[in-house]
């Protein structure tokens, strides 16, 4: 609204919501800032850390599986 030069009614119509909903969203954003709408775009610190740790966990499992296979191959070749 402030930066687009459009009215709240125009933006609400484009988004398919009422202008009162748009004003409510703007109020929440003003009160809470970046944490106003935590989701994929604005994750909380705990959600971001959980996502990072899950990715790291998956990477470490893959490394472990590769090492297990390598050990099996090397021990088989030594026999």
For residue 15, the model assigns a pLDDT of 87
pLDDT for the residue 65? 95
Confidence tier at 1 by pLDDT (50, 70, 90): low
pLDDT at 77: 78
What pLDDT does residue 64 have? 96
pLDDT at residue 42 in the model: 63
User: In this structure, what token pair is assigned to residue 71?
Assistant: 């050990």
Quote the CA–CA distance of 57 and 66 in Å, as a whole number.
Answer: 14
User: Which tens digit of pLDDT belongs to each residue from 19-66?
Assistant: 888 888 888 888 888 777 766 666 778 888 999 999 999 999 999 999
Write phi, then psi, for 35 (nearest 5 degrees): -90, 5
User: Domain boundaries in the chain?
Assistant: 1-42, 43-79
Q: And the tokens for 10? A: 């125009």
Q: Please name the helix (run of DSSP H) or strand (run of DSSP E) that holds residue 48, with its range, or none.
A: helix 45-78
Spatial neighbors of 8 by CB under 8 A, at least 6 apart, are 1, 19, 22, 23
């Amino acid at each position: 609204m402030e930066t687009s030069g459009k009215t709240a009614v125009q933006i609400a119509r484009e988004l398919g919501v009422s202008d009162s909903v748009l004003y409510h969203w703007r109020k929440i954003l003003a009160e809470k800032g970046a944490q106003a709408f935590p989701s994929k775009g604005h994750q909380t610190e705990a959600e971001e850390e959980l996502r990072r740790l899950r990715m790291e966990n998956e990477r470490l499992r893959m490394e472990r599986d590769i090492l297990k296979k390598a050990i099996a191959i090397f021990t088989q070749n030594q026999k």
